[in-house]
Amino acid sequence: MPPSTSLTYSDEPFSIRKRRYFFRNILDIDGDGLVRWKDLELLLLRVEELARKDEFIRSKMALIGLWHNVTDDEISETEWLALWNETKEDKDEDSMVDHLFTLLDPSGDGLIDESEYVHVLTFFGKSKQEALTCFDNIGRTPLGEPIFAIDSKRFLSLWKEFFYSDDPSSYGSYLFGLIDDFSK
């Protein structure tokens, strides 16, 4: 059997595996193994193309503040995983998720629709097809009925499922792409 780095992860709880995935595929945009403010700026630049200006700047400033609460410098993957053990679910997290939602909803109608979602996910190197598959899963009520767009309340519950649930079949697992694609 060939050695595989994925074996290292298979024994981990699914929630921790997703946190690693998020670090590698979403946060560390330039792929140097560390998350710096520079990485997040790259994302903001991308979203800025579409965003409504006032709300975008407000959310950007709030995220800069939250970033400096966490670190003055950079975050390694190990530090990132440890961070989750320290903070658990708290107000800072809810507030950050709220600002992220604003950034992902450039039209400002309070809903993330399929095209807004696909636009952002493809920025992280995901194919349009993968993004559409994921939206097909996250674009649902908790009971599984399809919805055409996601409001901030639903987004927060998908976020919590992504970071805290160990159930691979939960809709939130699809929030940032297909987790099996753990290549990066």
Using alpha carbons, list the distances in angstroms from residue 80 to 32, 77, 111, 156: 14, 5, 29, 20
Which of the ranges 12-20, 22-30, 127-135, 170-178 carries the binding residues for Ca ion, by CB under 5 A? 22-30
Nearer to Ca ion, 70 or 111 (CB): 111
Joined together, the tokens standing for residue 40 give 């997040």
Q: Is 130 in the site for Ca ion (CB under 5 A)?
A: no
Using rule CB under 5 A, residue 30 touches Ca ion: yes
| Secondary structure of residue 59 in the 3-state scheme | helix
User: From CA 165, how far away is CA 111, in angstroms rounded?
Assistant: 24
Identify which of residues 34 and 175 has a Cβ nearer to Ca ion in the complex.
34
Q: Is 90 in the site for Ca ion (CB under 5 A)?
A: no
Q: Which residue is nearest to Ca ion (CB)?
A: 107
Q: Which is nearer to Ca ion, 92 or 109 (CB)?
A: 109
Beta pairing class for 34-36 and 74-76: antiparallel
| Bridge partners of residue 161, in order along the sequence | none
Asked whether position 32 contacts Ca ion by CB under 5 A, the answer is yes
User: Judged by CB, which is closer to Ca ion: 44, or 165?
Assistant: 44
In the bound complex, what is the minimum distance in angstroms from residue 166's beta carbon to Ca ion?
27
Which uninterrupted H or E stretch holds 75?
strand 74-76
What is the C-alpha separation between 21 and 25, in angstroms, rounded?
A: 6
Q: Which is nearer to Ca ion, 55 or 93 (CB)?
A: 55
Apex CA 80: angle with CA 76 and CA 84, to 5°? Answer: 165
Which residue in 15, 66, 67, 107 binds Ca ion (CB under 5 A)? Answer: 107
Give the interface size with Ca ion as a residue count (CB under 5 A): 9
**Residues facing residue 112 across a β-bridge:** 150
Determine which residue in the list 25, 59, 104, 105 makes contact with Ca ion, applying CB under 5 A: 105
Contact residues: Ca ion, CB under 5 A: 28, 30, 32, 34, 39, 105, 107, 109, 111
